[in-house]
């Protein structure tokens, strides 16, 4: 946690100091006439939004910080009467940051375990469906459109259109949405793609269901792909681009088209 954040957060709390004062204060309508006033308010609003997001995230992790104590820390510090020294404040906030990271990791591990169990159950049921074929490694696929073209090998570069979805049907990646096909070396992607696309002929379209260990595994691909995610892809193989043959030393035609 960077040190400037608590300082800015403290500044943001100026707007609500009045609500904790002992004497009742009649709140005046705020008028923002000048650019300087608007700048000041916008700074406070921006910091307030930052604080709100952080407090919400912390509460999700089971850490609820009391806003009146946050406010007290601000007013005491502003008056030069902080009950905790600056060095200790930094150490405490570093400890809070570590606590939050530990809770996030704990939640990610729990979610990954649940995803693994759901994935195994889904694969077992999906394998029973009509038209679903299963490779030795565990990739499940359905031929949506068959073709008689060439098939790629792992060292080829392929051009494809594809859509990737989670088991709940949510799309997490799509070349269709981007409006252009994807081009990539087949041996530089997840194992399920490297193996699965070698089953396809140019012009065909398959739907793959890829076990997590042939996708992104227990760690996932943060922040988009959670750990142990079984992924589904609809893939159209549009083109195979063979690697260029390396020129031989002393080849008189090197650098020229053959």
So what's the pLDDT on residue 254? Answer: 43
| pLDDT value for 249 | 56
Is 253 a member of any domain? no
Q: 125 and 70 share a domain?
A: no
175, 183 contact by CB (below 8 A): no
| Tens-digit pLDDT profile for residues 129-159 | 999 999 999 999 999 999 998 999 999 999 9
Tell me, yes or no, whether 60 and 149 share the same domain.
no
Question: Domain boundary residue among 38, 60, 83?
Answer: 83
Residues 139 and 38 in one domain: no
Give me the count of residues in the chain: 258
Does 100 fall in a domain? no
As for how many domains the chain has, the answer is: 2
pLDDT of residue 112: 85
CB 113 within 8 A of CB 226: no
Helix axis angle, 67-78 to 4-12, nearest 10°: 100
Using CB atoms within 10 Å of the CB of residue 118, give its burial: 0 to 12 exposed, 13 to 18 middle, 19+ buried.
middle
My answer on whether 55 and 128 are in the same domain is: no
DSSP per-residue letters across 33-44: -SHHHHHHHHHH
Does residue 103 fall inside a structural domain? Answer: no
pLDDT along the chain (258 residues), means of 10: 41 42 58 90 83 81 81 80 88 90 86 90 96 97 94 95 96 96 94 97 97 93 90 97 65 45
Supply the pLDDT for residue 223.
Answer: 82
Q: Is residue 174 part of a domain?
A: yes
Asked, for residue 258, whether it belongs to a domain, the answer is: no
Q: Taking the chain, what is the end-to-end CA distance rounded to the nearest angstrom?
A: 59
Q: Does 249 fall in a domain?
A: no
Co-location of 148 and 216 in the same domain: yes
**Is the Cα torsion angle 242, 247, 253, 254 positive or negative in sign?**
positive
Q: Do residue 134 and residue 205 come from a single domain?
A: yes
Do 41 and 147 share a structural domain? no
Q: Answer yes or no: do 135 and 178 share one domain.
A: yes
User: Are residues 231 and 126 part of one domain?
Assistant: yes
CB neighbour list of residue 12: distance below 8 Å, 6 or more residues apart:
43, 44, 47, 48, 50, 51
Q: Which residue spans within the chain are E strands per DSSP?
A: 133-134, 140-145, 157-165, 171-174, 182-185, 205-210, 231-241
Check residue 32 and give its pLDDT.
87
CATH number for position 197: 3.10.50.40
Domain that holds residue 178: 115-241
Q: In terms of domains, do 57 and 134 share one? A: no
- Residues contacting 197, CB < 8 A, separation 6+: 152, 158, 160, 186, 235, 237
Task: Check residue 190 and give its pLDDT.
Answer: 96
In a domain, 96, yes or no: no
Residue 91 lies in a domain: no
């Amino acid at each position: 946690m960077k040190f400037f954040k608590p300082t800015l957060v403290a500044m943001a709390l100026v707007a609500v100091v009045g609500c904790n004062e002992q004497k009742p204060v009649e709140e005046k309508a705020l008028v923002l006439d000048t650019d300087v006033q608007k700048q000041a308010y916008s700074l406070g609003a921006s910091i307030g939004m930052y604080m709100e997001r952080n407090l919400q995230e912390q509460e999700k992790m089971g850490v609820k910080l009391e806003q009146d104590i946050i406010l007290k820390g601000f007013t005491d510090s502003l008056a030069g009467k902080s009950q905790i020294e600056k060095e200790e404040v930094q150490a405490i906030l570093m400890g809070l940051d570590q606590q939050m990271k530990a809770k996030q990791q704990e939640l990610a591990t729990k979610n990954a375990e649940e995803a693994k169990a759901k994935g195994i159950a889904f694969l077992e049921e999906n394998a029973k469906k009509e038209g679903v074929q299963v490779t030795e490694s565990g990739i499940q696929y359905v031929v949506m459109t068959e073709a008689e073209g060439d098939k790629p090998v792992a060292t080829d570069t392929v051009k494809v259109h594809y859509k990737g979805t989670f088991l709940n049907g949510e799309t997490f990646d799509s070349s269709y949405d981007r409006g252009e096909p994807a081009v990539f070396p087949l041996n530089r992607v997840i194992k399920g793609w490297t193996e699965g696309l070698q089953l396809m002929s140019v012009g065909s379209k398959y739907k793959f269901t890829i076990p997590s260990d042939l996708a992104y595994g227990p760690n996932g691909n943060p922040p988009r792909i959670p750990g142990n995610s079984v992924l589904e892809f609809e893939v159209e193989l549009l083109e195979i681009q063979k690697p260029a043959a390396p020129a031989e030393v002393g080849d008189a035609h090197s650098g020229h088209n053959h």
